Structure formats: structure tokens, C-alpha cells
Amino acid sequence: HYDEAAANLQIAMELDPLSEAINRNLGDVLKASGRLEEAEAQFRATLDLHPEAPGPLAGVLLEKGDYDALLQRTGWTRLAALVALGRKDEALEYATRFADSSLRRRTEVASVLGDSEGALTLLEQAYRERQPWLRGLRNATAYKPLRSDPRFIDLMERVGL
């Protein structure tokens, strides 16, 4: 239903072209449907309109393998680029910055670093706490390393994805 969702979001954008939520949701739908070039363009347009908006562009750049662009960023996306480039020591050192971060950020970091056990333990904690961000697990780039794990699949089913 991605094409239908994209079409409906295009209509919504005609009604409210400056809406951050509509612009971002369109980018999310394009990304989820594998239309990465279009998603990147949409996220860039969203950032032009709302420079303070959260960084959805990073997930697209990561999936495209644009690691040079990601190394200019901060957060888990920079960490993911370091891991993808084989710079494990630097990645581990960088990861120490997230020790006191939110549960969501620590879970993303564990997943990106390949710590499946740690990430799944934190995801279970998030599930017990009914964290709202769990609704985004299916398409969240940070959890790509976990997508084939039966425990992750079970968690997604429990969340209703």
C-alpha cells in the first residue's frame, strides 16, 4: 500500500505544503518502499523547510551506502558509517558517548555495533515500558541487523507490526 500512501500524502501536501509531518511522512513512505532517491530528495526538501527537523535523511544515506556524508553527521548514523567502513575501534570509542543516552538511542547503538543480545534485551525493556517509538521498528535503519532474528520478528508481531 506504499503507492497509495504516497499518493494520499501528495494530496495532503497540496493542502498543507509546509507541514513538517506530511513532508517527513512522505519521505518515510518512499524510503519504506525502496524508493531511496525520491526519499532522499523528499527528506532534503523537508530539511530545507524545517532545518531543525529530526534527521530522517541519515537512514536513507546509510541504506544507500553514502558513508562519506554520514561521517559528517553525529549520533548513531555516524556510528553506523564507522562500523560499515570497518573502523571498529573508532566506532567503539565513539559509542561511549551514548552510555547515558535514552533507551532508544542505546538500543540503536547496540544494534548498529552488532550487539544483538544487548539490543534485543533493551528492546524487550522498551516493550515492557510500552515505548511509543517501537511502532517504527519495521523500517528503522538502525535495526536492519536484527530483522532476520526470530526474537526481533516475535517482538515486531507483539508490537503489532
Q: Which cell goes with 54?
A: 529530526
109/101 Cα distance (integer angstroms)? 10
The string of pLDDT tens digits covering residues 41-55 is 998 888 888 776 656
Tell whether the model's pLDDT for residue 102 goes beyond 60: yes
147 pLDDT band, cuts 50/70/90, is: very high
CB-based contacts of 12, cutoff 8 Å, min separation 6? 19, 22
- Whether the full predicted model's pTM is greater than 0.75, yes or no, is no
Cell numbers 507541514: residue: 19
DSSP letter at 150? Answer: H
